[in-house]
Amino acid sequence: MVRVLIGNAASRVAVLAVLLILVGFVACGGGAEESESLTMGAMDESAMVEAASDSFSLSQTDEREVSEALEDSAEEEGSEGASASFFQSSPLTDEAQTGVQPKNRVIVRTVDMGIIVPDVPEAADEIVAVAGRVGGWQVSSDRSQRHHATVSVRVPAEVLDEFILSIRKMADLVEFETSSSRDVTDEYVDNEARLSGLRATEERLLEFLGQSAKVDDALKVQAELTRIQLEIETIQGRLRFLSQTSAFSLVNLSLTTKPGEMDVEIGPDAATYRAGLSAGFRATFSPPDGVDEFTFTWDFGDGAEPIQGNRTAPTTEVGERVTSTVSHAFLDVEQSPYIVHLNVRGIGDAGLFLGSDTLIATVTEIPAIEVFAGEDRVVDEGDNVDYSGSFTRPEELWDFQYRWDFGDGTATVLDVPAEGDTRAMSEHTFRDYRLEPYRVTLIVSAQSEAGEVKGSSSFFVQVNDVEGFVVGGWDVGGTAKSAVRALTAVAQVLVIVLIWLGILSPVWLAILAAVILFPRLRRRFSGGSWPAPRVLRRRGQDVDEAETTGDTARDGTSAVPQAETEGSPLAFAEPATGAVVCDQCGREIPGNDPIGNPPKYCPFCGADTDFVRTLSGSRHASHRQQLVAR
């Protein structure tokens, strides 16, 4: 328990002096940061002490009451003895009195370095070995590429500077080095204070758990105890992490092989370009064997964004490659000349190789060549027609020449105008007629300080079809052409029809088969009635048609041929229309068929069977049974 003893005026003055020093230190903004670990109990205690120090006429009884109040406040917040440490040996009090930072700060240091070494794998192994010798270890590494690797190690904080010095000696060149420090003292102290309070709470909960007489109370205490213990473990883990990270600094190293040199050639050291006109840029370079991945960057020096690319191609020269062409236009003439810079980077099994080249670009205002080729026209097939165009000749240009492109596949006509001449003349014959017009183009070119300057103009020529050999007003050639065209069209239609017939052949075959087979299948499976036998009356003699097979009757005489030869036509007698009897139920059914055929089904029993016809009271076999018997 804390006891604040203010026994005499001297002690009161001492307490007041300490409080005044604290208030003045905070008001001036000096001193170190106050630790976030101070609990609310300590703050309440200091407030009560200030109230006690302001009352210099307090009696001994009042002083004891203040002391007891401080004790009760400290017990309620779980920070027993905090007031004593506040007045006696608190780091914050010491810091406020001396005006200096405490010595035991928790600092986390991290170093990032990029170095160039002769051999990346060997250097990476050496770095890990050095870290192990000073008491550190490897955290991670990436050695997937031969020319580049990354290694992360942790070394004791007290030997970090010596370790960095050894890395510098190992490298051929230090590309970059950054060091950062992070003060985590406040977080560490705050977590310690929270841990102390949670442990005190844990002890009280354990006491309550042992004193709980009811199960419900014990369960509630156990749940709260579990939560407190989880927070304690979390804070302990955070404290361990801060301790380890502050005790062992992290060093991240990027290792790169020392790049080799590569020849790069843009072209001439200086060139002139026309303002506002897009120009193409490309370069050649000679990489060593074992390098197959390339990147290049063009910086035109006029403030425009650099252009990057990775597309290259081999040239006819052995071991030489060329970059893809990039386009750029210089807009400002006043800032001319510009320094164009190209960097080429090659990577492969052979390592890393770099190359660069520069170009002085001069930008000037160059006038354009205005060209007029002519207006659209119509000519006849086979006629030789003259063509004439005009153009301007600025004084800044020289070596003028022009060429005609008639668009019919013939060679272009190239010519050089006379000095001061501004006209371009030519003649041409279009030998083939076609529906679409021909595009005729006149191109005029000249030389300037910025290189070749061109201008062009175009027009269309419609070629008419001329009649050929005419006899008596009849164009033989035209007719022949029309006939050929008509036959060609017919042939195209026939070919298309045949193609579709071939494609749809399964459909046509199916339809044809259905047309041919359907009648036969219908007669076979229709199940219709058999026709009644017809009686042939021939020369006073009755012959049953069912008894005649072919041309011979039952008696062996020829039926039809004899009737035909003797000139007596055959006559068919009307069939009998008597009743029939069902074989299943035995009932007699009247024959309602006009030709005397029995019904297909029995109207009484519904049987589909043979019937027996009754004629003049006698029963005879049906015609179907007669056929089966024969």
Report pLDDT for 571: 38
Of 36 and 180, more confident = 180
- How does residue 623 score in pLDDT terms, banded at 50, 70 and 90? very low
Q: What is the arithmetic mean of pLDDT over 207-214?
A: 77
Q: What is the arithmetic mean of pLDDT over 491-513?
A: 88
- Per the CB < 8 A criterion, the answer to whether 371 and 454 are in contact is no
Which range among 169-173, 209-213, 413-417, 525-529 shows the weakest confidence by mean pLDDT? Answer: 525-529
CA distance 136 to 156: 6
Which range among 159-173, 398-412, 527-541, 574-588 shows the weakest confidence by mean pLDDT? Answer: 527-541
For tokens 């309440």, the residue is 44
Is the confidence at residue 489, as pLDDT, over 60?
Answer: yes
Which pair of tokens denotes residue 455?
């201008």
Is the confidence at residue 227, as pLDDT, over 90?
Answer: no
Report pLDDT for 198: 83
Look at the pTM and tell me if it is higher than 0.85. no
Report pLDDT for 561: 41
Facing residues of 360 across strands?
270, 339
- Per the CB < 8 A criterion, the answer to whether 66 and 48 are in contact is yes
Which pair of tokens denotes residue 130?
């050095």
Q: What is the arithmetic mean of pLDDT over 115-124?
A: 88
CA distance 255 to 151: 8
- How does residue 345 score in pLDDT terms, banded at 50, 70 and 90? very high
For residue range 559-582, what is the model confidence (pLDDT) as tens digits? 444 434 444 443 333 444 456 677
Report pLDDT for 596: 55
Q: What is the arithmetic mean of pLDDT over 37-53?
A: 36
Report pLDDT for 322: 94
CA distance 34 to 26: 10
The full DSSP string for 322-351 is: EEPPEEE----STT--EEEEEEEEEEETTE
For residue range 249-300, what is the model confidence (pLDDT) as tens digits? 889 999 988 888 899 999 888 888 888 888 899 999 999 888 889 999 999 9
Report pLDDT for 358: 94
For residue range 518-562, what is the model confidence (pLDDT) as tens digits? 777 776 665 544 444 444 444 444 444 444 444 444 444 444 444
Q: What is the arithmetic mean of pLDDT over 439-450?
A: 89
- Per the CB < 8 A criterion, the answer to whether 279 and 328 are in contact is yes
- Per the CB < 8 A criterion, the answer to whether 378 and 462 are in contact is yes
What's the whole-number average pLDDT of the chain?
72
- How does residue 61 score in pLDDT terms, banded at 50, 70 and 90? very low
Q: What is the arithmetic mean of pLDDT over 175-197?
A: 78
Closest of 134, 155, 112 to residue 255, by C-alpha: 112
For residue range 325-336, what is the model confidence (pLDDT) as tens digits? 999 999 888 888
- How does residue 449 score in pLDDT terms, banded at 50, 70 and 90? confident
Name the range with the highest mean pLDDT among 67-76, 175-184, 548-557. Answer: 175-184
CA distance 257 to 348: 12
- Per the CB < 8 A criterion, the answer to whether 444 and 455 are in contact is yes
Which pair of tokens denotes residue 278?
């897009």
CA distance 603 to 600: 9
Q: What is the arithmetic mean of pLDDT over 461-473?
A: 70
